[in-house]
Structures are given as C-alpha cells and as structure tokens.
C-alpha cells in the first residue's frame, strides 16, 4: 500500500462524511419551510435571503448555548449517549455506493467508502446499534419521561428492524448478492424494453414494507413515539440541551439520508438514469469522470426525492398509538414480509432465475 | 484489508468529530449553573421519586421476541444469497425454505393469537 | 500495520470484556458488552470473515444486549445488592470456569496451527458458508428452527403478561 492509497482512502472517507453531514442543515431548512407552506405561514425568512442562513444561525445557537449536565444523571452515559447515536449514523454511510468510479491521479476510485461484500447486512447491523444512544440516553437522564420514551423508542426500533430485514431478504433473493454495489450494477438497462430495470419492479411489496419500516426506524412521524411531545414532553431527550440535543438530531437526519440512500440503491437503480445504460451514457459524454459526476447527481436527486417524501409525510399524517404501532409491525408487516419471501421464491422457481 | 482502510479512517474521523462537538460546546458555551436549572424535569412539580422504578413487563416480551425472530430472520440472509443460483439444481432450497418458514409462521401465529403484544 | 490494528482491537475487546465484569453498575456492564461485541466483530472483519462479523453485530450487539438493557431498565436494581458469596456458589462457579478453560485449551492446542490468521479470504467466503449451511448442515439447521419455536412458546408460558394468569 502506498501513501497515495492512504490519502485517497482518507479523502474518500472525509469528503463523503462531510457531504452527508450537509444533509442536516439542508433538511432543517426544508423541513421548516415545508411545514410553513403546509400550515400557511411564511416560515424562516429573517436570516439571509429566503431565510437560507437559518440553519447556520441554528447551528451557532446550539454551539453557543450552555451545556448543563443535570444533577442526578449518570454523567458518563449521559454525555456519551448522543454520540452513541451519531457514531453508527456516521458509520453506515460507508456502505452506500454513490456512483460507479472516477479516474483521478491515474487510479480508479470507487465512489463508496468501503465496498464490503456484505454491505447490505453491514447497514442493517450497524444501523441496529443506533438504538443504544436512545436507550442509554433515556436511562442516564434519570427522568421518568426519558425512561418511558427510551423504552418505547427501543421497542419500536427493534420491532421494525425485522420487517426491514425481511424486505431486504427479498432483494437479496432477486440480486443474489449482499453487496449493494453489485445490486446497483445489476439494475442497469431496461426491463421488458419499457421499464427501467429497477428493483422496485421485482419487489414492489418488499419496497412498501421497507419504506414503512424505514419511517419507524428513523423515528419520523407517523412513528415518532420516542418524542411524542404531546405525551412525553420530549421523550428520551427531555433532559438534553445545547449541542448534545443537536447531536441526536444530526444522527436522525443522517439516518434519514442513509435510509433514503438504501431505498435508492436497492429499489430505484442507485446511480443509474432510467432507460439509459451506463455504456451508452459513457459513449455520449466520452469521459469516465463526467459520467461519474452525472451518476453522483442522479443519486443525490433520487435521495432528495425520498427525503422530501419523509418531510411531506411528517406534516400530513397523525401519530400512531403505541399498541397500533406494535400491531402494525408484528401483525401486518412481518407476516406480509414472510409472505413476500415465499411468493418471490415460488415465482422465481417457476420463472426460472429471475 | 484494502477495503477496510477507508472504514477505519471513517471510524477515526467520526470519533474526532464527536470529540470536537464535545470540546467546542464546552469552550463556547457559558457556564452558569443555577440549581433549578440542574434539576431533572417534571411537569411543574418537584420530582417525586427517582425515575428508576420497576416497569411493565410487556417491553421485556417485545425484546425477547425480537431476539428470537432476529435470529430466525438472520438465517434467511444466507439462504437468499444462494437461492437464485441453486434454482438450476432443482427446488431443494425452496423446500428448505418452506419447512423453515412454516415453523417460523407457527411461532408468529402463536404469539399473535395469544395477544402477547397487546399493551395498555 | 495489520498486526498493529489487530493488536489494538484485541486489547480493546479484552479491556471491555474486563469492564463487563468489573463495572459496579449493570448498565455500564451492558455498555461495555456492546463495545466488546463490536471489538469482536472488528476482529472477525480483520480475519476476512465478513459475514460472521456482521451477524455478530446484528444478533449479539444489536439484539441480545438490547434484551439485557431492557431487563436492567425494567427491574431497575440500580444499587448492587450486597450478597454474601456462599461456598457452594464459589465451588460451582470455579468448576464451570475450569471446565471451560480446559475445553478452550484443548480446542486451541488442536487447531492453533490451522487457524488462518489475518488471511484475506476471497469474495466467495459468504457464499461458501451459505451453501454448506443449506446442503451439508440442512438437518441441524431445521432442528434448530424447531428449537427456536419451542423457545417462543416457552417464553410466553414463563413471562405471561399480567391479567393472563393460568386459567
């Protein structure tokens, strides 16, 4: 391994991480603007043109606030908990293939931090660690609201991890690989000549399960029971303030980006433009690097669509009750997920291969 | 190892980021602890007792069932990986799945029918 | 480089494992256990056993410790209860530890030469494991499923929700 390899690896990790963190300010702005639009009010419009600098102001405010540690808390875990949420959120992005490859410094560079052969399970596994930030945070706060919020939240997250996994199994069956990169590569071209060759057309039910479960996994409305501000004050982060509070939110928005990315990659062809194969596109633009740029923008566009969907749904649907939430997962999503696997398996057997 | 290097760097960068967040807030934020600010939050009254009180056991059931079903679901993954390629050699894996899934469905049906997860 | 990383994570795993035992508070034990499992997973990853590594995180760190933490949070024995360690317990515990140690020693002495330490395995490794599981080890696998089913029923019988007493 040369020094160049090391520099490339470091750059890849840092650039992609920083890029994903930019999701947070953008989402803060979009969320507030869309909320305003739906509730028929102007929304942030004081800081900068169209209130565009609002996220900067928010960030500065978070940083400049006092960071108190309440008495009676378990100081070490209380301090660590937000980061236990943030660290898995940062680590999962390593598995997402953003684009194919670029050629820089005379080297082929894949636009993905780590091309593991089990990247799909990697995302599910590391993602499942995110629950500890909430659990420990709620416990260490030594507050009843926090504890109830944490327990509810953890039950919700574990209950919806199963449908998420089952939906992923359907995708693995179709593509015959755990590698997200190989999945995207297989989605090149068209299906029957008219449809883009995307995962959603092979696994429509799987996609719906995945979409619903991803809302619950990221604690978004209509599944925001961990917070449920009307019932539990603020849920597991009642006792958190200042940047620690913001860290929980950073993690939440980054998870949102990861989930959107995962759906893009598995069900919507990842970096592929519809109806155009990579080879054709490369012929038109003539350069691998330009192609790579197009792919990156395609990926970002698709992810943005999903993120926007999350925001829209947040301001459209009311919250579930806790028993309804569990019933939805255990009573509907998991059985449907299992059925989806059987039906896919039988169909694949009779249609032979795909 | 080649693919693990960026992952290791990402881990280090993430940890640095966390440390930075911690330190920056400590440096920039004012420190002015007022006793009432450091009390734990309660709706308008003084905290009655510690928060760590015994709790509903239904949550425990959810965790246990999750663990069991997670183990079962994890076995689907290797199965799904080889399923497509195995189709050329006949439906042996399909039968394996149906038996496995049948047993899993019995378990799921059992807990649903017993209404274990009925909370409140 | 490889050796350094490996040594680091080995030490990390050992230290957190010690933390599990030595923590006064059960929650901190659970916290250390998560870190310990994470360390173990990185060791597997360095061996090239990617699938096992991910399952280690998914099942052990992601599910089993969640269960531990739930139990601790539900029961809330915050203060470690002072318990006299009785002689039979000491004898039983040490017998268990020694048996385990002997088994480990036996396994290690037999297979130490064969463990492919730090060998990068090929991409086929996950596929190989899966193929073996569903051909050679199919029957043990199905028996295991029956076992899991029995566990589900057993849990319900043991931890029946309130108000659903035996009729």
Q: Does the pLDDT value for residue C82 go beyond 70?
A: no
Q: What ranges in chain B are assigned the alpha helix state H?
A: 4-28, 58-86, 92-113
- Give the domain B4-113 fold: Methane Monooxygenase Hydroxylase; Chain G, domain 1 (1.20.58)
Cα(A112)–Cα(A13) distance, integer angstroms:
8
Residues A227 and A258 both lie in one domain = yes
pTM exceeds 0.95 for this model: no
Same domain, A42 and A73: no
Beta strands A190-191 and A107-111: pairing type?
unpaired
- Which positions in chain C touch A121 (Cβ < 8 Å)? 51, 54-55, 58
Supply the range of the domain harboring residue A26: 16-64
Task: For residue B34, name the pLDDT band (cuts at 50, 70, 90).
Answer: confident
Q: What local confidence, expressed as pLDDT, does residue C36 receive?
A: 93
Neighbours of chain A (3+ CB pairs under 8 A): B, C
CA A349 to chain C, closest CA, distance in angstroms equals: 17
Contact residues on chain B for A155, CB-CB shorter than 8 A: 59, 62-63
Query: Which residue of B19, B25, B31 to mutate against A (max A Cβ within 10 Å)?
Result: B25
| End-of-domain residue from the set A7, A33, A64 | A64
Are residues A236 and A105 both part of a single domain? yes
Q: Measured between beta carbons, which residues in chain C are less than 8 angstroms from residue A161?
A: 62
Share of chain C above pLDDT 90, in %: 18
Q: What is the DSSP letter of A178?
A: S
Nearest to B13 among A6, A14, A331 (CB): A14
Q: Among all chains, which residue has been given the structure tokens 């009779």?
A: A350
Provide the pLDDT confidence category of residue B40 given band limits of 50, 70 and 90: low
A79 in Cβ contact with B22 (< 8 Å): yes
Decide which of A189 and B77 is more confident. B77
The answer to whether residues A46 and A130 belong to one domain is: no
Nearest to A235 by CA among A149, A155, A310: A149
Please indicate, yes or no, whether residues A28 and A104 belong to a single structural domain of this protein. Answer: no
Question: CA-to-CA distance for A217 and A345, rounded, in angstroms?
Answer: 27
Residue C147 within any structural domain of the chain: no
Q: Which domain range does residue C73 map to?
A: 2-79+91-122
- pLDDT tens-digit profile of A54-67? 888 888 888 887 77
Residue C103 resides in a domain: yes
Are A239 and A321 part of one and the same domain?
Answer: yes
Q: If we measure between CA atoms, which residue out of C68, C66, C14 comes closest to residue C36?
A: C14
C142 in any annotated domain: no
Give the separation between CA A302 and CA A273, rounded to whole angstroms: 10
What is residue B53's predicted lDDT score, i.e. its pLDDT? Answer: 65
A122 shares a domain with A23: no
> Domain holding C64: CATH number?
1.20.120.1200
Q: Are A165 and B70 in contact (CB under 8 A)?
A: yes
Read off the pLDDT of residues A254-279 as tens digits, 9 standing for 90 and up. 999 999 999 999 998 888 888 888 77
Strand partners, A108: A103
- Structural domain contains residue C167: no
Residue appearing with tokens 């619950």: A216
3-class DSSP assignment, residue B117: coil
The tens digit of pLDDT for each residue in A209-249 reads 999 998 888 877 777 666 655 566 666 777 777 788 888 88
Write out residues 12-31 of B within 8 Å (CB-CB) of C. none
C-alpha to C-alpha distances, A209 to A206, B96, C33, nearest whole angstrom: 5, 24, 32
pLDDT tens digits, one per residue of B98-112: 888 888 888 888 877
Task: State the total domains in chain C.
Answer: 1
Model confidence over C91-115: pLDDT tens digits? 888 999 999 999 988 887 776 666 5
CA distance B120 to A150: 17
For residue A2, being part of any structural domain is answered with no
Chain A residue numbers with beta carbons less than 8 Å from the beta carbon of B23 are none
Least confident among A24-28, A187-191, A333-337, B99-103: A187-191
Cβ–Cβ < 8 Å for A94, A15: no
Cβ separation B41–A174 shorter than 8 A: no
Q: Which of A44-53, A339-348, B62-71 has the lowest mean pLDDT?
A: A44-53
Between positions 216 and 255 of A, the ones with CB within 8 A of B are 233, 238-239, 242-244, 247
Instruction: Give the total number of structural domains in chain A.
Output: 2
Whether B4 and C46 have beta carbons less than 8 Å apart is answered as yes
> DSSP 3-state assignment of A106?
coil
Among A124, A332, A79, residue whose Cα is nearest residue B77: A124
Query: Which chains form contacts with chain B, at 3 or more CB pairs under 8 Å?
Result: A, C
DSSP secondary structure letter of residue A275: T
CA distance B82 to chain A (A): 6
Residues in chain B within 8 Å Cβ distance of C120: 1
């Amino acid at each position: 391994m040369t020094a160049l390899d090391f520099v490339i690896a470091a750059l890849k990790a840092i650039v992609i991480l920083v890029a994903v963190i930019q999701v947070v300010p953008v989402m803060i702005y979009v969320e507030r603007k869309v909320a305003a639009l739906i509730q028929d009010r102007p929304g942030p419009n004081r800081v900068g043109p169209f209130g565009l600098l609002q996220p900067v102001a928010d960030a500065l405010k978070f940083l400049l606030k006092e960071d108190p540690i309440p008495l009676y808390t378990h100081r070490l875990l209380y301090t660590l908990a937000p980061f236990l949420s943030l660290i898995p959120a940062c680590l999962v992005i390593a598995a997402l293939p953003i684009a194919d490859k670029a050629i820089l410094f005379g080297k082929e560079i894949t636009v993905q931090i780590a091309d593991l052969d089990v990247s799909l399970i990697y995302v599910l596994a590391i993602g499942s660690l995110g629950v500890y930030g909430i659990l420990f945070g709620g416990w260490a706060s030594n507050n009843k609201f926090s504890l109830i919020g944490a327990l509810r939240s953890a039950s919700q997250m574990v209950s919806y991890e199963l449908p998420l996994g089952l939906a992923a199994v359907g995708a693995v069956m179709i593509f015959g690989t755990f590698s997200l990169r190989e999945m995207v590569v297989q989605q090149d071209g068209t299906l029957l000549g008219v449809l883009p060759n995307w995962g959603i057309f092979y696994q429509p039910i799987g996609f719906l399960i995945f979409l619903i479960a991803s809302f619950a996994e990221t604690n978004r409305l209509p599944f925001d029971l961990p917070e449920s501000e009307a019932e539990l004050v603020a849920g597991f982060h009642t006792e958190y303030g200042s940047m620690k509070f913001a860290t929980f939110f950073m993690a939440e928005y980054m998870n949102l980006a990861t989930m959107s990315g995962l759906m893009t990659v598995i069900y919507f062809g990842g970096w592929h433009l519809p109806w155009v194969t990579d080879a054709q596109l490369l012929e038109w633009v003539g350069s691998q690097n330009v192609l790579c740029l197009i792919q990156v923008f395609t990926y970002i566009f698709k992810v943005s669509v999903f993120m926007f969907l999350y925001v829209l749904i947040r301001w459209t649907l009311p919250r579930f009750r806790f028993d309804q939430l569990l019933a939805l997962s255990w009573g509907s999503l998991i059985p449907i997920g299992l059925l989806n696997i059987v039906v896919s398996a039988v169909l694949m057997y009779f249609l032979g291969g795909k | 190892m080649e693919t693990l290097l960026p992952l290791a760097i990402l881990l280090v960068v993430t940890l640095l980021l966390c440390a930075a967040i911690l330190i920056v807030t400590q440096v920039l934020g004012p420190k002015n602890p007022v006793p009432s600010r450091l009390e734990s939050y309660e709706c308008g009254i003084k905290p009655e007792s510690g928060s760590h009180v015994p709790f509903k056991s239904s949550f425990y059931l959810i965790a246990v069932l999750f663990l069991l079903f997670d183990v079962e679901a994890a076995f689907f993954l290797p199965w799904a990986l080889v399923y497509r390629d195995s189709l050329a050699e006949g439906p042996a894996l399909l039968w394996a799945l149906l038996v496995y899934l049948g047993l899993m469905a019995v378990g799921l049906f059992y807990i649903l029918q017993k209404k274990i997860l009925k909370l409140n | 480089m490889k050796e350094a990383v490996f040594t680091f994570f080995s030490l990390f795993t050992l230290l957190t494992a010690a933390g599990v035992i030595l923590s006064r508070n059960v929650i901190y034990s659970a916290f250390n256990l998560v870190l310990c499992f994470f360390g173990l997973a990185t060791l597997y990853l360095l061996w090239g056993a990617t699938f096992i590594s991910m399952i280690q995180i998914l099942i052990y760190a992601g599910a089993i410790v969640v269960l531990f933490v739930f139990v601790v949070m539900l029961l809330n024995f915050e203060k470690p209860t002072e318990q006299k360690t009785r002689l039979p317990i000491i004898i039983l515990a040490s017998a268990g530890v020694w048996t385990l140690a002997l088994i480990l020693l036996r396994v290690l002495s037999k297979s130490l030469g064969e463990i492919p330490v730090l060998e990068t395995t090929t991409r086929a490794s996950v596929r190989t494991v899966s193929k073996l599981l569903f051909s050679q080890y199919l029957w043990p696998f199905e028996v295991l499923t029956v076992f899991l089913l029995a566990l589900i029923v057993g849990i319900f019988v043991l931890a029946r929700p309130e108000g659903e007493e035996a009729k």
